[in-house]
């Protein structure tokens, strides 16, 4: 993937996807497309930013840290409950 497209994707993930409103990956993809179109509009045809595939966006989301994703999208309490250590264990 193009470095500029990757930077745009990470910026959109941080500012849009990791929010308490919990937007879908499909909505994230639409935001990434709009952002790339806006940034590429002023560039010459040969220097435009290549659009990432939908599967690249899904893969980037899947590779996010699960605790951080849960923390940003559901809050600290939900993240701590989901990823807490079980103290008692088996007896």
User: Which residues, in sequence order, are CB contacts of 86 under 8 Å at separation 6+?
Assistant: none
Judge residue 28's burial from the number of C-beta atoms within 10 Å of its C-beta, 0-12 exposed, 13-18 middle, 19 or more buried: buried
Q: What are the pLDDT digits (tens) for 11-34?
A: 999 999 999 999 999 999 999 999
Read off the pLDDT of residues 44-68 as tens digits, 9 standing for 90 and up: 999 999 999 999 999 999 999 999 9
Burial of 4 (0-12, 13-18, 19+ CB in 10 A): middle
CB of 21 within 8 A of CB of 29?
no
- When pLDDT is cut at 50, 70 and 90, the band that residue 88 belongs to is low
* pTM, entire model: 0.86
């Amino acid at each position: 993937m193009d470095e500029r497209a990757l930077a745009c994707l990470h910026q959109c993930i941080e500012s849009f996807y990791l929010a308490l409103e919990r937007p879908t990956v499909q909505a994230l993809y639409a935001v990434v497309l709009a952002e790339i179109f806006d940034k590429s509009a002023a560039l010459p045809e040969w220097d435009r930013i290549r659009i990432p595939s939908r599967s690249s966006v899904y893969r980037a989301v899947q590779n996010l840290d699960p605790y951080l994703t849960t923390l940003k999208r559901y809050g600290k309490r939900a993240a701590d409950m989901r990823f807490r250590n079980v103290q008692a264990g088996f007896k």
